[in-house]
Structure 1
Amino acid sequence: MDDNDIENALNTQTDAKLSLLHFATIGSTNQYAKQLCEHTAYQTPCVVWADQQTAGVGKFSRPFYSAANGGLYTTLIMPNLLISAPKVGLFTTSLAMATVSAIQTCFNLTVDVKWVNDIYLHDRKIAGILVEQGAHNAIIIGIGINLFQQNFPNEIQKTAGNLLTAAPSETIRQQFFITLISQLYQSCFTYTNLKFLSDYKRHLMLMDHRIQLQLGRSVITGTVTDINQLGQLVIVDATTHQHRSIPAGEVTKVFP
């Protein structure tokens, strides 16, 4: 992939005066981006990407397998982006749909979303998104996508999957990267219009399913009925039989 071509294409599509930092190998693009923000008050977006991560992380600091050239590993630094606490869920769900849209555009594949923003294909996780707060009011948007990974570690062989059935050409990989970053960037400014929510619901793999949720130290069970206008998961609690909106948490089990 050609960094100059990528940067020029992104700036043409977004008009963002975006900068690009590319590494053959890095510990974690998100961690590096957070360090950058501590030392620099960015005024324009910056994209950090790597061919390989040796210490990639996902939610709850879990490791994210990031073998050389097997996927896309990137972080978008969005400067001076203020997101009110009630709308954090809406923002993160919009990023999931931006990813779904980029996949549909480039590969004509239909994928599923596991609330909040994990991407699945054939019941296997192919992508994860991690949003963090950076210094100087920057938002750090990290994403890892398995394009065609081989030899997943034993602990994730039964749960991880690939987007593609063969390694893509560099041209296709580059076009997908450009499309993905462009879609993520646009979502940062359009998520409050709620237009993506109907698509999100269609792609939500949990709809009408009975699930188990981890909420801090508590575990609850319920049936998913909706996503509300704040991007929260709406369930009917199995114990109280009342509707309940869940702003954050982890779905740990989906019952058949």
Structure 2
Amino acid sequence: MSTQEKLLTLLLAHPTEYLSGEQLGQELGISRTAIWKAIQALKAAGYHLDTKAHQGYRYQPTDLLSAPVIRQNLATNLTDLPLNIYEQLASTNQTAKKAAAENAVTPQVFIANQQTAGYGRYGRTFVSPEQSGIYLSLLLQPTKPLTDVGLLTTAVATAVFRAIKETTGISVDIKWVNDLYYQGKKICGILSEAITDFESQQISHVVIGIGLNFATAATIPAELQTKVGALFQKQPSITRNQLISALLNQFFSLYQTYTDGTFLTEYRAHSLLIDRTVTLQQGQATITGKVKTINDAGELVLTTSTGQQTFSSGEVTKVHF
């Protein structure tokens, strides 16, 4: 870690105390002058550090995305998880896929304050304005054959649901297979992409992208404002760092056992679709039916005019309320 990161980590470990330059210097084994320079660099980067004469420095929570701040709330088994944070990227998923091609260490997390070319399913543009969203991609390397990326996507949706509930008390709705809704508007989309090894033709890596509208952004296009919402319309009660920490904790806890499908009971309980009539687009086919359930494989079970049908893929384009 850099001197700045070490200093910040030390301040984070004493959230209610002021630490003097002398104390900090002794802890880190550097001069008070070096401490002062690091403090100034952190302030210039956007961190809020309260300074009190004759007492020292104290960290003040801020929404600036920060690996040390995220790390302080991670489970002990995740303290070494690589967190890559960028002010701006074209796409966190593309960055993660590039890392996979370079045989990067896994798992890894890629986070951006803004995306200039964010995308969702079918290559649709995902508007990703700065300071208002969580744009995060996980790079994973499965230790055993991965046969159903769809089940993993439903597990990720459940992890996001749990993280939001844990940190805010808000219970959101889940739209099969990869969207989360709040107050009737989409606030989160999940995109899982598999990378296949050319020689073995087996899945070598999986990239999971999560795009979450954390706070209302003034730059959302007018044509999306009736469809797209945010977790917070007013002043957020938590920071993005706190939600990211909770999200990573929930995901990696669930990732160990997701293949048994037990989380799907919770997924179903918060489904936006069960017992509703929907229109499903699958390739060139359009199917309308009533959602009976989401089965233990994470598939959508519809009752249609021709009987019961099960779908492992497709997009629900309309919910008939």
**Secondary structure of 1:201's aligned partner:** helix
CA distance in 1, matches of 2:167, 2:300: 29
Compute the displacement of 1:68 (Å).
0.5
**Cross-structure match for 1:221:** 288
The C-alpha deviation readout for 1:61-88, integer Å capped at 9, x for no partner, is: 1111111010111101112344533x33
CA distance in 2, matches of 1:92, 1:244: 21
**Cross-structure match for 1:54:** 116
Q: Does 1:33 align with 2:96?
A: yes
Amino acid at match of 1:78: L
CA distance in 1, matches of 2:184, 2:248: 25
Compute the displacement of 1:101 (Å).
0.3
**1:38–1:135 Cα contact (<8 Å) kept:** no
**2:73–2:242 Cα contact (<8 Å) kept:** no
Q: Does 1:254 align with 2:319?
A: yes
CA distance in 1, matches of 2:236, 2:311: 38
**Secondary structure of 1:134's aligned partner:** strand
Q: Which consecutive residues of structure 1, in runs of 5 or more, have no partner in the other structure?
A: none
CA distance in 2, matches of 1:16, 1:4: 10
**1:96–1:129 Cα contact (<8 Å) kept:** yes
Within 5 Å, give how 1:1-256 maps onto structure 2: 1-7=65-71, 9-10=73-74, 12-15=75-78, 17-42=80-105, 44-85=106-147, 87-134=148-195, 137-151=204-218, 152-168=220-236, 172-238=239-305, 240=306, 242-256=307-321
Compute the displacement of 1:36 (Å).
1.1
- Structure of greater relative contact order (alpha carbons < 8 Å, 6+ residues apart): 1
**1:33–1:140 Cα contact (<8 Å) kept:** yes
Compute the displacement of 1:118 (Å).
0.2
**Secondary structure of 1:221's aligned partner:** strand
Distance 1:197 1:76, change over 3 A: same
Runs of 4+ in 1 over 3 A off after TM superposition: 7-10, 12-17, 80-84
Equivalences, count: 250
**Secondary structure of 2:87's aligned partner:** strand
**Cross-structure match for 2:22:** none
The C-alpha deviation readout for 1:154-185, integer Å capped at 9, x for no partner, is: 2311100011122437x632111101122122
**1:81–1:138 Cα contact (<8 Å) kept:** no
Compute the displacement of 1:9 (Å).
4.1
Q: TM-score, normalised by structure 2?
A: 0.74
CA distance in 1, matches of 2:113, 2:319: 33
Distance 1:127 1:83, change over 3 A: farther
**Secondary structure of 1:17's aligned partner:** coil
Distance 1:128 1:59, change over 3 A: same
CA distance in 1, matches of 2:278, 2:196: 36
The C-alpha deviation readout for 1:196-222, integer Å capped at 9, x for no partner, is: 111111111111111111011111111
Indicate the RMSD between aligned Cα atoms, in angstroms.
Answer: 1.8
The C-alpha deviation readout for 1:21-67, integer Å capped at 9, x for no partner, is: 1110110000111011111243x311100111111111111111111
Distance 1:135 1:36, change over 3 A: farther
Q: TM-score, normalised by structure 1?
A: 0.91
**Secondary structure of 1:138's aligned partner:** strand
Distance 1:48 1:41, change over 3 A: closer
CA distance in 1, matches of 2:196, 2:273: 34
Amino acid at match of 1:154: A
